[in-house]
Structure 1
Amino acid sequence: MNGLGEHRLEYETVGPFVTHVWLHHRHGSDVYTARPVRKGVRWIRPMMLSKEEQAKYVVCVKRINYWVAVLFMVGAFLFTIPGFLSDSYSAYFDIIFCCGSIFFTSAAYLQLIESINKDITNPELFRTQRCHWIRIAWRPKNLGYLSSVVQLLGTLLFNVNCVAALFAVTPVEKNISIWLPGMLGSICFLLSCAFAWLEIYRDRSIKAFRSEEWWIVWVNIVGSIAFQISSAVAFYLPQTGDVFAPEMASGYLTFGGGCFFIGAFLLRVEDVADTRKFIGGEFVQ
């Protein structure tokens, strides 16, 4: 438990990771859970701010969530669209995937920034009076932060995977520079999803099959499994240099990209639904 003058913070954990924070004050207590705060859809009321100042603060913290969703949607769309194009466009597929990976990485980086600054394990979050973004920090007790770090690593590996596809020639080069980073990147996505699930599974406000947050996490889990299957069967045969199961790899990649697009779109649905509670400058807890 930490003190904030007249206020006290009490943490609820899963193992070493903080999932809930109780803010005790003279008027009672408020509870905040990790993911909704991290995504900017449940707002921590900064202390001693007027309603007008609170409105400015909310707009600032929500802006980054907007761009995370949009960039993930664009990246996912680019990973999905080649699956619906004919083979006559196959010469452009690697370029499209490369562009998609850049959008994925941009979104993942913004999500990491978001997890650093909207960290309920940081007492300063409860008394900040302006929106100031910290770009580098270590938040080991924050599951959202760990999920974002691992996801960013996965997107960087896919950057390597996609760029290498433009240059690698021999089967050995392809397996080392394309297949291996793709496999490791997919494993990172799965691990990121595991952290994301741990972050929400004890959140009583998130209902299975009924909450956007639940669907976002599970759609991304399914998408990550599809990417993992696609990566696993996309290794190059040393005799011919051909992909082991090209149709299967393409199909699961397309399906996984579609899942990630839906997950990113649901981020916007979640955000817009919550923003409706903040009409006319009224802060709604």
Structure 2
Amino acid sequence: MRSRGRGLTVRVASLAAPTLTKQCWGFMIGASFFAVGSAPWITDVVGSTGSNVLYFVGAWFFTTAGLVQVALSGPVPTRGQHGQGRRVRAEWLSAAIQSLGTILFNISTTAALHASSVVAQEQEVWSPDAAGSVAFLVSGALAFVAFAHAGLRRDVRSRPWWSVVVNAAGCVAFGVSAGAAFVLPSGHDLDVSVANGSTFVGAVCFLVASLLVLPAWDRAPGRSPAGRSATASD
């Protein structure tokens, strides 16, 4: 009986342990929900409520993956140049800021399920969405710094490098989407087509960025390890 209990504990601990594979799949699944939710044909099939539900579910996968990312990003401080003082590591800061962005998306997508007034749409839906998009932009920029600090080369044949670039493109696309989704006094978005299109592009970018650094690639026969990515989506 005790051995069974220990075995169950080990299995639960293994499932809960943060890994790069879990992080990648979390971002890829979340991005897939966002991509489907923003697809041009989706509102004709499930309506705007169905689209909001897809965003809501996808945001939870994003948030879970973001927390795993922070756990994998290592210690917060590092020793400064010439051993003087300590500073926050760019990789951890990039992960933490993106994780904050995913939580803000959670707030926004949850509010979108019940917000009915213009004020609610602006303050409870758009504001946290815009803040989350800004967090993603900052995180995407810091990912380049983290990549450089990790000593990795900017090589067009490097999957980690392309992951950083594609991730940054996704952050920019989400920023454009937030701007286009600004709520006008009439209650309509500034430009629905641009908002949805940019969300779709950003979601696809995040899916690809995580797919590029999925550890399964390095376990494939005949492939050499590409090195750990320093992107916000690794």
TM-score > 0.5 by shorter chain: yes
* CA distance, structure 2, for counterparts of residue 140 and residue 112 of structure 1: 17
CA contact (8 A) 1:140 1:146 kept: no
Q: 1:148 aligns with which of 95, 100, 104?
A: 95
Secondary structure in structure 2 of the residue aligned to 1:242: coil
* CA distance, structure 1, for counterparts of residue 90 and residue 62 of structure 2: 20
Amino acid at match of 1:256: G
> CA 1:140 to 1:96, structure 2 compared with 1: closer, same or farther past 3 Å?
farther
Q: How high is the TM-score relative to the length of structure 1?
A: 0.64
* CA distance, structure 2, for counterparts of residue 182 and residue 104 of structure 1: 14
Give the aligned partner of residue 75 of structure 1: 30
Q: Deviations over 1:223-257 (max 9, x none)?
A: 0000000001101111x211111111000000100
CA contact (8 A) 2:166 2:209 kept: yes
CA contact (8 A) 1:144 1:199 kept: yes
More strand, by proportion:
1
CA contact (8 A) 2:78 2:87 kept: no
Structure number with greater Rg is 1
CA contact (8 A) 2:173 2:198 kept: yes
- Where does 1:24-39 land on structure 2 (aligned, <5 Å)? none
> CA 1:176 to 1:140, structure 2 compared with 1: closer, same or farther past 3 Å?
farther
Secondary structure in structure 1 of the residue aligned to 2:135: helix
Does 1:97 pair with 2:55? yes
* CA distance, structure 2, for counterparts of residue 140 and residue 166 of structure 1: 41
Aligned identity (percent) is 30
How far did 1:203 drift?
Answer: 5.2
Does 1:85 pair with 2:41? yes
More helix, by proportion:
2
Q: 1:171 aligns with which of 80, 105, 118?
A: 118
- What residue ranges of structure 1 are gaps of 5+ in the alignment? 1-58, 123-138, 280-285
* CA distance, structure 1, for counterparts of residue 151 and residue 89 of structure 2: 18
- What residue ranges of structure 2 are gaps of 5+ in the alignment? 1-13, 80-85, 224-234
Q: 1:257 aligns with which of 203, 206, 214?
A: 203
> CA 1:206 to 1:120, structure 2 compared with 1: closer, same or farther past 3 Å?
farther
Q: Deviations over 1:39-61 (max 9, x none)?
A: xxxxxxxxxxxxxxxxxxxx99x
Give the aligned partner of residue 209 of structure 1: 156
Tell me which of the two structures has the higher relative contact order, counting C-alpha pairs closer than 8 angstroms and 6 or more residues apart: 2
How far did 1:172 drift?
Answer: 1.5
How far did 1:151 drift?
Answer: 0.6
* CA distance, structure 2, for counterparts of residue 140 and residue 79 of structure 1: 35
Amino acid at match of 1:182: D
Give the aligned partner of residue 216 of structure 2: 272
How far did 1:98 drift?
Answer: 0.3
> CA 1:166 to 1:190, structure 2 compared with 1: closer, same or farther past 3 Å?
same
Q: Which runs of 4+ in 1 moved over 6 A?
A: none
Q: How high is the TM-score relative to the length of structure 2?
A: 0.78
CA contact (8 A) 1:206 1:213 kept: no
